[in-house]
Amino acid sequence: MKRNGGTIGVFPLVVEMVVSGFLFLFILVLNLVMGALGYLMEKDDYDPNADLQKINKNPRKFQLGIMLALVEHGSVIALTIMLFIAFSPYNIILGIVWIIFRTGEGLIQYINEPNYWRLIEIARQYSLVSGAGKNSWSDLARSIFKTKDTRFKFAMICWSIGTLAFSIVLVTSDVVPQIIGWLGIVASVLVGFGTGIKLVKPRFKFEVVGALFAMLFEVIIGGWLLFYSII
């Protein structure tokens, strides 16, 4: 294996790739578990009354979802660092773009969590009042959901830019099959386009297509890095 014409040790590169592949798949699994626990990265329809009742019914479940989200955000940053170590020697400029924007994605997600945690107390207070008294708590919850969704969209734009840079490196370096890199380019363009449009038109649904391509890309690149690297 070579980087910029120089021979490198096989073992360090294998370790970097295997850890990166594991993190790709681990992040996907965390997102599925978080969704099952009621933690949603994004909401298309706001129904704070129903959401607060659901949170108050099982606050520990909601807390667990948030704690897993914190692990997920940290894993995104860890993945970013590992891939920078493994692939930046092939193109340092694109590596810097990757690490700036994917780290930014993880940090933006972290910013959301203190407010999201407040929903547990808001849900409790909501359950203690009746009639018009619920409106102020419901409005506060709606504001938190909307703020989180807006920040998530900016996080996805960061994902798009960072993944585009990484995918270009995959296509030009021949470290992995080029088709994987091209899939990443398509996914990043679709996610960036869909998210940008949705910032202007919230009811726009095209981002679902980008999300499917992004998931497919991350499953394939994660599996390839995890398993093929050690074969």
41 compared with 219, residue with greater pLDDT: 219
Query: Mean pLDDT across the stretch 204-220?
Result: 87
The pLDDT > 70 percentage for the chain reads 89
76 compared with 133, residue with greater pLDDT: 76
> Is the predicted pLDDT of residue 26 greater than 90, yes or no?
yes
3-state secondary structure the chain: CEECCEECCHHHHHHHHHHHHHHHHHHHHHHHHHHHCCCCCCCCCCCHHHHHHHHHHCHHHHHHHHHHHHHHHHHHHHHHHHHHHHHHHHCHHHHHHHHHHHHHHHHHHHHHHHHHHHHHHHHHHHHHCCCCHHHHHHHHHHHHHHHHHHHHHHHHHHHHHHHHHHHHHHHHHCCCCHHHHHHHHHHHHHHHHHHHHHHHCCCCCCHHHHHHHHHHHHHHHHHHHHHHHHC
**Does this model's pTM top 0.85?**
yes
pLDDT tens-digit series, residues 150-180: 889 999 999 999 999 999 999 998 888 999 9
Query: Mean pLDDT across the stretch 112-139?
Result: 87
pLDDT tens-digit series, residues 65-111: 999 999 999 999 999 999 999 898 899 999 999 999 999 999 999 98
Domain ranges of the chain: 9-41+71-111+149-230
Query: Mean pLDDT across the stretch 188-197?
Result: 92
Mean per-residue pLDDT of the chain:
87
The pLDDT > 90 percentage for the chain reads 52
pLDDT computed for residue 6 by the predictor: 41
pLDDT computed for residue 227 by the predictor: 87
pLDDT computed for residue 146 by the predictor: 87
Query: Mean pLDDT across the stretch 33-59?
Result: 82
Confidence of residue 191 (pLDDT cuts 50, 70, 90): very high
> Is the predicted pLDDT of residue 48 greater than 50, yes or no?
yes
Query: Mean pLDDT across the stretch 180-198?
Result: 93
pLDDT computed for residue 44 by the predictor: 64
Confidence of residue 130 (pLDDT cuts 50, 70, 90): confident
